[in-house]
Amino acid sequence: MTVVKMPIALICTFLWIGFVCAISFMEAWLKFRAPGINLPLGLGIGRIVFNALNKVEWVFALVIIINIFWNSSEILKWQNLSFVIPLILLLIQTFWLLPALDARAELHIQRQFVPSSNLHFYYVGMEVVKVVGLTIFGLTLFKNTTI
């Protein structure tokens, strides 16, 4: 029999994965293929969408943190390390990477010179690591028991 240790954390974890995969790995590049979407317009849309995604990610993260603390016996489990990594990446994205990408997008929108950068590659790499970490964390929330 399989038991879920923290069902609320489990739901939030897999919803979080779904949001990141849908937006970061699909919407982000598909919008530029739509008729009439030029670079400044696509970047403007992207700024709004990724700002909203970041807020949703924080809601999921906070609900998971509260759920872990609510189940105080789960706080110091090694399995939670796989949640700490996405949390650290979310902090980096929120306070450094997204503001830097936002500033670059604004320059593009204003049709100013924007030097080349690897920031998008960093973002995509962090998203991949975040999804892997969340998947591992989500899977650790299942516990096999024998009756």
Given a cut of 90, whether residue 69 has pLDDT beyond it is no
Q: How many domains is the chain built from?
A: 1
* Residue 113, helix vs strand vs coil: coil
Helix, strand, coil percent content, the chain, rounded in steps of 5: 80, 5, 15
pLDDT for position 3: 83
112-143: pLDDT as tens digits: 999 999 999 999 999 999 999 999 999 998 87
Alpha helix stretches (DSSP H) within 23-118: 28-30, 39-70, 81-92, 98-109
What is the extent of the structural domain holding 27? Answer: 2-144
Given a cut of 70, whether residue 34 has pLDDT beyond it is yes
pTM over 0.75: yes
Burial (CB count within 10 angstroms: exposed 0-12, middle 13-18, buried 19+), residue 129:
middle
| Confidence band of 51 (pLDDT split at 50, 70, 90) | very high
Strand partners, 142: 4
How many helices (DSSP H) and strands (DSSP E) are in the chain?
6, 2
Q: What's the sign of the alpha-carbon dihedral 50, 122, 125, 78?
A: negative
